[in-house]
Amino acid sequence: MPQDKTLQQIFDSFNNLKVLIIGDVMIDAYMWGAVHRISPEAPVPIVSITKKENRLGGAANVALNIQAMGASPILCSVVGNDDGSKLFFDLLKKQKLSAKGIIKSKNRITTVKTRVIGGNHQMLRVDEEIETSLNTNETDALAEQIKKLAVSEKAAVIIFEDYDKGCITPALIKNIVTFAKQKNIPTVVDPKRKNFMSYNGVTLFKPNLKELKEGLKLDFDHSITKELDKVAADFIKKQNINTLLVTLSEKGIYTHSSNTKKLIPAHIRNISDVSGAGDTVISLAALCLALNLPPVVSAALANLAGGLVCEKIGVVPIDKKQLFDEAVQLKLKI
């Protein structure tokens, strides 16, 4: 079928793309164990640890999703000069991800989020992190590294993956968005609250509904299409962006640009875990944008991919073959 062939061409074309990812990287550490008794020292359960695992998290999970789709990710971030960074570089090497965009800072620590899980329930999470913004020297050094790599690697798209941990600053955003426009490289944003209104002039902006309402300090009924359309149109005009892509959880995904306004319903799923779904959505949206696909096609593929990873337990990257097979089965309109 011609439709299948077109989908095949899109998926094959992903393999030729280089994607630069800017953002807060972290290590997701897990400790699994069994709970048989309460501590005599305090009214808390004792978890007898049986297994430990460290995974790449934050913006690094976006890199894993880009890699899973066959494209080449270039991760740009700042980590500490500590044991956490040694572990982070080991994990990058294990996943065959480049470390050339990672800068070490003596002023920061590497973000590590440790989850203690007893009897399949998360008992505790311990975060080691610094949330203050990069200083001017660190911001300038990161910006220069990003520009250098974007040119030398011929980046097809730039992703800002913001977790509000201080790696992305308003100065960095302005610098890189201006540079990207000069080089005709599209920019894609997965925002958080702190820098929400700083992404002026980007190509595609992808908040979830909660982030959109909080970022705009505005409550509206998203089930009323006219209200959602107005909020989106006002935001696009004010921020000078091309496309707004809003994930609506079980309601699907909404895309709005100059010539497109469409709500794409979610597919019925057995939801196991929504963790990491946003990372998958932004990855697909960026890859589709790099290929200059229509906004509705990008939204449909991103919506499908986000739903598929929700069927898996934990933060896992998308399975390219599974996504392709399901897109064919659903006769996704291209």
In whole angstroms, give the CA distance from residue 68 to residue 70.
Answer: 5
Instruction: Decide: 83 and 106 in contact? Cβ < 8 Å.
Output: no
> Which pLDDT belongs to residue 311?
58
Catalytic-role residue among 4, 162, 279, 325: 279
Q: Show the beta-strand stretches assigned E in the chain.
A: 18-23, 25-38, 45-58, 72-80, 102-105, 112-118, 121-128, 157-161, 187-190, 204-205, 243-247, 253-257, 260-264
Give me the mean pLDDT over the 324-330 stretch. Answer: 81
Residue 273 has pLDDT above 70, yes or no: no
Residues 53, 59, 65, 70, CA torsion sign: negative
In a domain, 40, yes or no: no
Q: What is the mean pLDDT of the chain?
A: 90
Give me the mean pLDDT over the 207-225 stretch. Answer: 86
Tens-place pLDDT, residues 161-183: 999 999 999 999 999 999 999 99
In a domain, 41, yes or no: no
Residue 312 has pLDDT above 60, yes or no: no
Max CA separation in the chain (angstroms)? 68
> Which pLDDT belongs to residue 161?
96
Domain count, the chain: 1
In whole angstroms, give the CA distance from residue 301 to residue 333.
Answer: 10
> Which pLDDT belongs to residue 272?
41
Give me the mean pLDDT over the 77-96 stretch. Answer: 97
Tens-place pLDDT, residues 24-58: 999 999 999 999 999 999 999 999 999 999 999 99
In a domain, 119, yes or no: no
Poorest-pLDDT segment among 40-54, 99-113, 122-136, 241-255? 241-255
Residue 20 has pLDDT above 50, yes or no: yes
> Which pLDDT belongs to residue 122?
87
| Residues ≥6 apart with Cβ < 8 Å to 109 | 80, 82, 84, 128, 129, 130
Q: Which helix (H) or strand (E) holds 150?
A: helix 136-152
CATH number, residue 280: 3.40.1190.20
> Which pLDDT belongs to residue 154?
97
More confident residue, 333 or 104: 104
In whole angstroms, give the CA distance from residue 294 to residue 265.
Answer: 18
Residue 126 has pLDDT above 70, yes or no: yes
- 3-class secondary structure for 258-325? CCEEEEECCCCCCCCCCCCHHHHHHHHHHHHHHCCCCHHHHHHHHHHHHHHHCCCCCCCCCCHHHHHH
Give residue 199's identity as a one-letter amino acid code. Answer: Y
In whole angstroms, give the CA distance from residue 257 to residue 267.
Answer: 23
| Residues ≥6 apart with Cβ < 8 Å to 227 | 220, 221
Number of residues that make up the chain: 334
Tens-place pLDDT, residues 69-86: 999 999 999 999 999 999
Q: Read off the pLDDT band of 310 (50, 70, 90).
A: low
Classify 119 as helix, strand or coil: coil
In a domain, 212, yes or no: yes
> Which pLDDT belongs to residue 268?
59
Q: Hey, how many other C-beta atoms are within 10 angstroms of the C-beta on 230?
A: 12
In a domain, 170, yes or no: yes
Give me the mean pLDDT over the 138-153 stretch. Answer: 98
279 as an active site residue: the answer is yes
Beta bridge partners of 31: 52, 116
Q: Read off the pLDDT band of 1 (50, 70, 90).
A: very low
In a domain, 32, yes or no: no
Give residue 324's identity as a one-letter amino acid code. Answer: F
In whole angstroms, give the CA distance from residue 67 to residue 19.
Answer: 9
In whole angstroms, give the CA distance from residue 100 to residue 18.
Answer: 14
Tens-place pLDDT, residues 219-232: 887 777 788 999 99
In a domain, 36, yes or no: no
Q: Which two tokens stand for residue 222?
A: 């998203």
Q: Is 167 exposed, middle or buried (0-12, 13-18, 19+ CB in 10 A)?
A: buried
Q: In what order do the strands lie in the sheet with 112-118?
A: 45-58, 25-38, 112-118, 121-128
Classify 102 as helix, strand or coil: strand
> Which pLDDT belongs to residue 5?
54
Residue 2 has pLDDT above 50, yes or no: no
Q: What is the pTM for the complete model shown? A: 0.92
pLDDT above 70 covers a percentage of the chain that reads 93
Q: Which helix (H) or strand (E) holds 59?
A: helix 59-68
In a domain, 228, yes or no: yes
- Domain with 241 in it: 2-25+57-110+130-329
